[in-house]
Amino acid sequence: MDVIPLLLQLDKECTVWAQQHAHSCNLFASLVNINRQREQTFIQWQTQQKQKQKQKQHIICSVSSSSKEKAFLASPSLQLLIHKQTLEIEAVITQLYEAIQAFRNVVQAMIKLEQQMEAAVQTMDTEKLLSSVNYIDSAIMSTTAVTSNNRYASMPSLMDTVEISPLETLDWVSRVRAMYAQELSVKQSQIHPSMTFPDQSGDLIDLQRDWGLQERIDFGLEQEIMERIKTYRRVREFSSRI
CA Rg value for the chain: 30
Q: What is the pTM of this model?
A: 0.79
In angstroms, rounded to a whole number, what is the distance separating the alpha carbons of residues 47 and 75?
A: 10
Q: 146, 53, 139, 39: which is closest to 82 by C-alpha? A: 39
Domains identified in the chain, total number:
1
Condensed to tens digits (0 to 9), the pLDDT of residues 176-229 reads: 999 999 999 999 999 998 899 987 778 899 999 999 999 999 999 999 999 999
How much is the pLDDT for 133?
A: 56
Q: Is residue 206 part of a domain?
A: yes
The count of other CB atoms within 10 Å of the CB of residue 180 is: 22
Q: Is residue 49 part of a domain?
A: no
Q: Is residue 32 part of a domain?
A: no
Condensed to tens digits (0 to 9), the pLDDT of residues 122-132 reads: 988 776 666 65
In angstroms, rounded to a whole number, what is the distance separating the alpha carbons of residues 131 and 1?
A: 14
Q: Is residue 105 part of a domain?
A: yes
Decide: residue 86, CB within 10 A, 0-12 exposed, 13-18 middle, 19+ buried: middle
Q: 191, 139, 143, 136: which is closest to 164 by C-alpha? A: 136
Q: Is residue 81 part of a domain?
A: no
Condensed to tens digits (0 to 9), the pLDDT of residues 133-148 reads: 554 444 444 444 444 4
Q: Is residue 224 part of a domain?
A: yes
How much is the pLDDT for 156?
A: 52
> Taking residues 4-24, what's their average pLDDT?
98
Instruction: Give the domain extent around 202.
Output: 4-24+96-240
Q: Is residue 213 part of a domain?
A: yes
Q: Is residue 171 part of a domain?
A: yes
Condensed to tens digits (0 to 9), the pLDDT of residues 23-54 reads: 999 999 999 999 999 999 998 988 888 887 77
